[in-house]
Chains A and B, each alone.
Chain A
């Protein structure tokens, strides 16, 4: 009968086929398979690999990861290709047998390095080691490892949940074999259905560097204006599936802090202050507030099931229904245009809106565009990489799409009005330039009516 790979042999160029044949991945071991990322990635690998080993601290935890993987992709057949085990009993054998060692343990430099030291002792010299870090330095993680380890080591940053979000960052270290990078790029694209973006080994890489800058800026603004208003002002109508502060609640405040602290410390840039974690978040985290996983963050529910919203000034929650909502006619205007597919008119109305509330939203969006274009050359070679990861990883309108729909001049004016630096790529562009050039993407999908 048929195998799952029947169709995978076609639709590829000769170059692509050569590249895919340059290595063979028959066995994968996932370390940290009990976590959401480990389990989800593990399930993904079973699409292409006959044997995937899920390892965790105990076999029971790894079994839990397998159950989670089955539920995530909704197929019990994942188990046909997975074996589970523990670090104590199975690590050395499983790592030695693996063609690809996929590390998805907790995001801590010291812990990951302990694992790499152990891997270095038992892995085959030709096996690939990939880390799913969301922003730790690949070069730092590889420090002290053998030459063959460093040559075969790279960052492979899937976004959660990896079976749904296809945007993936690929980060080479300074000693990584360029042929391996080409192979992994092609392998993940063709066999795992990923939208790959190569990024530099910079803090937060491309997606989190830009995405969490915007999220943190919203958290800072929430202190003065309240989370409810900020999430409405920078809501889905500005080009995103989920509102910013609800996103921080979902990701977890601890993860948010780890990412922005890392960028703030190691990558001082023109938007440095927007990457500083607000004090109120640190205070509340000390009291155990971590977002959705602890029941509440910016948003939650009280004991009676009523929706509650944090007041960052008082550090207390109040009922959502008791918070006054100002009239925001420009949001309604933009949403009505989005609803009938008039995205250009919608975003042009956004850029032209007046008043203090519109100015807040415009500043955040202008900041996103300005910050993204200023990262070209630093985190990716060109804007298309940033566009891809913001579109396929965050489900946000990519910065180029925003410039295209708003228009070049109005975009520049919006950035100037916000007092932010205008990227040279915009200043030097001819009127009528199209910045986003991926015909496979429906740009309309990013603009949700409120």
Chain B
């Protein structure tokens, strides 16, 4: 692969994903403002230094009846007047697509410092209406129209496909849920940090852990919330000056060492038909993961110290475990049973709590994953720190395994 200038991740900030901004009676621009100003304060960068801004957002038009989200970056501070901005959309992978675009511009030497902010305000509507909005991340007319909560059902089918090919037990999905919730309790920004959860609850099947469709119960789901996350990406030239200014070595600054990006056909059944004779259930997701590792010069997941993956449902994390190569295809359950993915295990998955524990404000998630990876590599993850983390890999997925993006963040 071609040699390109490296992209440095200087740091960032996320809003507390437990907050309900509709209850606070706020416009989403308040959320963007807190995230971006928080990122600037954290990195000691002046607003006027930002040269370009990218916003990741899925469905502002539906949730807030507002498009043109990139333009709202200028409402954060008058100094941004005239700044080039854009908004990127790829369902739940919107934040990562915004990061890819910003990174590519830095690689192309158009700009030296970019701000990427992912944002989604989802509590503006009730659960049913919101579930219908999320259905537009699938082929709405064919897969979501008239279906109550279409996405849990689609990811339930992913579990069914695993069951058919390799066998799948509820106990392992409950184990994944339990780990994510337990990790979230260590994360001061996690949506569910005060929620009552343990393995018994994840295995319970009464009105408090109701069925949402197929094998998916409430404890298997990430839940709707409001949130924004922002990071600052820089060219080597800017990073060098910044390192001197804040008194750190250039080598200690986390970089985007590799990335992967693939898209599969939008309908779930088309994806499954395509992978019928493949050892991986979602081969394009697998290719996304391995591309990122190759670009980072990493042979396999042994070179990764931890993962921030897209556990929109427990089945998607179950899929991620073998697609990352932590086990042979179909044997993800072993990594759950053996404690490999727990914090303190060989390759912890979602020390932050992931989407299930930390929350999933759709457009913010990809940026939040990279921010959490940055915190791990910089040793700033506090109670959910993976000791000595050098390389952390993300996986952000839009739709039912449709758009996949992965980054390796490391030093």
Chain B residues within an 8 Å CB radius of A450: 25
Across the interface, do A340 and B344 meet the contact criterion of CB distance under 8 Å?
Answer: no
Which among A7, A43, A70 is the interface contact of B179 at CB below 8 angstroms?
A7
Across the interface, do A7 and B199 meet the contact criterion of CB distance under 8 Å?
Answer: no
Which among B31, B189, B336, B384 is the interface contact of A341 at CB below 8 angstroms?
B31
Interface residue stretch chosen among B61-69, B156-164, B190-198, B391-399: B190-198
Across the interface, do B30 and A444 meet the contact criterion of CB distance under 8 Å?
Answer: yes
Q: Which of B189, B196, B199 has the most CB of A within 10 A?
A: B196
**B263-289 to A contact mask, C-beta < 8 Å, 1/0:** 000000000000000000000000000
Chain A residues within an 8 Å CB radius of B189: 440
Across the interface, do B196 and A74 meet the contact criterion of CB distance under 8 Å?
Answer: yes
Across the interface, do B204 and A2 meet the contact criterion of CB distance under 8 Å?
Answer: no
Is residue B325 contacting chain A, with contact meaning CB distance below 8 A?
Answer: no
Q: CB-nearest residue of chain A relative to B180?
A: A7
Across the interface, do B34 and A444 meet the contact criterion of CB distance under 8 Å?
Answer: yes
Chain B residues within an 8 Å CB radius of A428: none
Least Cβ distance of A336 to chain B in Å?
10
Chain A residues within an 8 Å CB radius of B208: 70, 74-76
Bound CA–CA A430/B344 (angstroms): 45
Chain A residues within an 8 Å CB radius of B251: none
Across the interface, do A10 and B343 meet the contact criterion of CB distance under 8 Å?
Answer: yes
Which among A43, A340, A440, A444 is the interface contact of B27 at CB below 8 angstroms?
A340
Is residue B201 contacting chain A, with contact meaning CB distance below 8 A?
Answer: yes
Is residue B342 contacting chain A, with contact meaning CB distance below 8 A?
Answer: yes
Bound CA–CA A3/B202 (angstroms): 12
Across the interface, do A193 and B343 meet the contact criterion of CB distance under 8 Å?
Answer: no
Across the interface, do A449 and B194 meet the contact criterion of CB distance under 8 Å?
Answer: no
Is residue A322 contacting chain B, with contact meaning CB distance below 8 A?
Answer: no
Across the interface, do A75 and B204 meet the contact criterion of CB distance under 8 Å?
Answer: yes
Chain A residues within an 8 Å CB radius of B171: 1
Across the interface, do A448 and B25 meet the contact criterion of CB distance under 8 Å?
Answer: yes
Least Cβ distance of A126 to chain B in Å?
28
Bound CA–CA A12/B198 (angstroms): 20
Across the interface, do B182 and A6 meet the contact criterion of CB distance under 8 Å?
Answer: yes
Instruction: Scan residues 1-37 of chain A and give those whose CB is less than 8 A from a CB of chain B.
Output: 1-12
**A265-302 to B contact mask, C-beta < 8 Å, 1/0:** 00000000000000000000000000000000000000
Q: CB-nearest residue of chain A relative to B178?
A: A2
Bound CA–CA A164/B192 (angstroms): 11
Is residue B185 contacting chain A, with contact meaning CB distance below 8 A?
Answer: yes
Chain A residues within an 8 Å CB radius of B204: 75-77
- Given contacts A340-B75, A341-B34, is CB(A7)–CB(B196) below 8 Å? no
- Given contacts A7-B343, A74-B208, is CB(A2)–CB(B26) below 8 Å? no
Is residue A122 contacting chain B, with contact meaning CB distance below 8 A?
Answer: no
Across the interface, do A442 and B34 meet the contact criterion of CB distance under 8 Å?
Answer: yes
Least Cβ distance of B217 to chain A in Å?
12
- Given contacts A11-B383, A74-B196, A77-B204, is CB(A6)–CB(B30) below 8 Å? no
**A66-85 to B contact mask, C-beta < 8 Å, 1/0:** 00001001111110100000
Across the interface, do A164 and B196 meet the contact criterion of CB distance under 8 Å?
Answer: no
Across the interface, do A193 and B196 meet the contact criterion of CB distance under 8 Å?
Answer: no
Which among B24, B178, B193 is the interface contact of A4 at CB below 8 angstroms?
B178
Q: CB-nearest residue of chain B relative to A442?
A: B16
Is residue B400 contacting chain A, with contact meaning CB distance below 8 A?
Answer: no
Across the interface, do B339 and A6 meet the contact criterion of CB distance under 8 Å?
Answer: yes
Which among A8, A43, A341, A445 is the interface contact of B19 at CB below 8 angstroms?
A445
Which among A11, A76, A80, A164 is the interface contact of B186 at CB below 8 angstroms?
A11
Given A75-B197, A75-B204, A342-B33, 17 more A-B residue pairs with CB atoms under 8 Å apart are A1-B171, A7-B182, A9-B344, A10-B344, A11-B384, A12-B383, A43-B196, A70-B208, A77-B198, A163-B194, A339-B26, A339-B27, A340-B75, A441-B16, A442-B16, A442-B19, A449-B24
Give 13 CB contacts A-B under 8 Å.
A4-B198, A7-B183, A10-B344, A11-B384, A12-B383, A43-B196, A241-B23, A338-B26, A339-B26, A341-B30, A445-B16, A447-B24, A449-B24
> Nearest 8 pairs between A and B by C-beta?
A341-B30, A7-B182, A73-B196, A341-B33, A4-B198, A449-B25, A10-B344, A77-B200
